[in-house]
Chain A
Amino acid sequence: MLIRVDPSSEAPIFEQLAASVRAEVARGALVPGDRLPAARDLADSLDVNIHTVLHAYQALRDEGLVDLRRGRGAVITDQAVAGVELHGSVRELVAEARRLGVGAPAVIALINEEFRS
């Protein structure tokens, strides 16, 4: 897996770390069951604060991309791949919305409505 951070970028470091993991899942370099490195090891490798790494792992956990387990660390979930499969549909939906001139808030409202029914 390739993890990249650019301190000079506007995006917060934890977000860049999470984005790296998402990208690796999207291209299949990480699959369900793969374990992310221990927070301390990743922090040392990239010369970032360990809490920044933990923040990134927690964000990924909140998204459902990883499970955080005591002793095992951060493990990629099955849902992570499902999210990737959905990516194509999302891209199509957004392209369609743009064509029709429908903004993001309206699209999200439509999605929520659909989930409620």
Chain B
Amino acid sequence: MTHRPPSRVLLVAVGLPLAITAVGIALLFAWLSELPDPIAVHWGFDGPNGFAPPSTYLMFYSLLGIGFVVLFGAFAISGRRVGPNWVQKALASTSLGVAVVMLLIFVGTSAVQRGLDDAVDAPDIGWLVIGGIAAGLLAGLAGWFIQPKTVNSASELAAALPLRLAPEERAVWLAKTRTPAGALAVIIFAIVLVIGATVFVTVQSDGAAWFLLFAPLVLVALALLTTSWRVRVDENGLIVRSVLGWPVYRLPAGEIEKAGVTEVYPGADFGGWGLRWAPNRRFGIITRGGSALEVVRKDGRTLVVTVDDAATGAALLAAYAAAPRPQ
């Protein structure tokens, strides 16, 4: 059953941010001839220290603005359950807030340079950045309340029937879960974007910001560590281990309340792919959409792992969770 996302969610996640970005693009375009070439695009404590052609600035803003709407908007409206859940509302609000921040900063930094002959004379913009961020936060908050009331979409897990094991019988369930090629392509693209951005900033700052290059390195490491996993159920419980050996997530059989199968929509339920945290103490190892093994612990926490043949894994886990514990 697929429901169209509520219109107010669409408005906050996509409609308003796109309109705001369009206004910004229009203003920058209209001012192109009045701006010094190059204009100041980066400020230090002593004033402007980074410059670029105004058309480049405009293009950068357009790409970033639309890019963020696509990113946050797509995740926010990707759900199919009734009413927006907490994650979707947060993503939509973020989309709106980011659009406002970027409008004020890009348009503001350009506005103060209109009519200038030399961008070096551009005034200080610290107050503009602070104001922009504050306005963005307020816009995000407004976006939250514009949207319909939060619907808790995590439905009660249907516990799997325990696999029937003979008294002496031992069983092991092994599975792999891999991020599909499409999602991997998005991740790689995002990392390439970050590499491009950090190189740009490093060059702009004449090498002063070289330490930023650690950021893409961290992203690459995270991608390698978290995109492919081995899942195993045996008498000890559940183990989910990255193919690189770490991280490892262990769930002892004695701590399991129930296990079952659920349908996962990464964007709507967890806000994306990878190691994700969601409301109601849910933690997910999410490599794809579709069926997943869900385990509820006795302390109320929930672990979700997207994996094929989850039904068999859940049944075996249920059998071991119900087995009497050796003292």
Which of B167, B173, B308 is the one whose CB lies under 8 Å from A2?
Answer: B173
Contact A6 B168 (CB under 8 A): yes
- Nearest A residue to B309 via CB reads A29
**Number of residues of chain A lying within 8 A (CB) of chain B:** 15
Q: Is A47 an interface residue (CB 8 A)?
A: yes
Q: Is B174 an interface residue (CB 8 A)?
A: yes
Q: Is B175 an interface residue (CB 8 A)?
A: yes
B285-310 vs A, CB cutoff 8 Å, 1 = contact: the mask equals: 00000000000000000000000110
- Nearest B residue to A47 via CB reads B170
Which of A3, A6, A46, A47 is the one whose CB lies under 8 Å from B166?
Answer: A6
Which of A3, A7, A8 is the one whose CB lies under 8 Å from B171?
Answer: A3
Contact B169 A6 (CB under 8 A): yes
Q: Is A4 an interface residue (CB 8 A)?
A: yes
Contact A8 B168 (CB under 8 A): yes
A32-54 vs B, CB cutoff 8 Å, 1 = contact: the mask equals: 00000100001001110000000
Give bound CA distance, A47 to B173, whole Å.
Answer: 14
Contact B175 A5 (CB under 8 A): no
Contacts of A5 in B (CB 8 A): 169-171
Give bound CA distance, A7 to B165, whole Å.
Answer: 12
Q: Is B172 an interface residue (CB 8 A)?
A: yes
Contacts of B169 in A (CB 8 A): 4-6, 8
Q: Is B234 an interface residue (CB 8 A)?
A: yes
Contact B174 A4 (CB under 8 A): no
A66-104 vs B, CB cutoff 8 Å, 1 = contact: the mask equals: 000000000000000000000000000000000000000
Q: Which of B60-98 contact A (CB under 8 A)?
A: none
- Nearest 6 Cβ contacts at the A-B interface: A6-B169, A8-B168, A4-B171, A45-B172, A6-B166, A2-B173
A-B contact pairs, 5 of them (CB 8 A): A2-B312, A2-B316, A4-B171, A8-B166, A29-B312
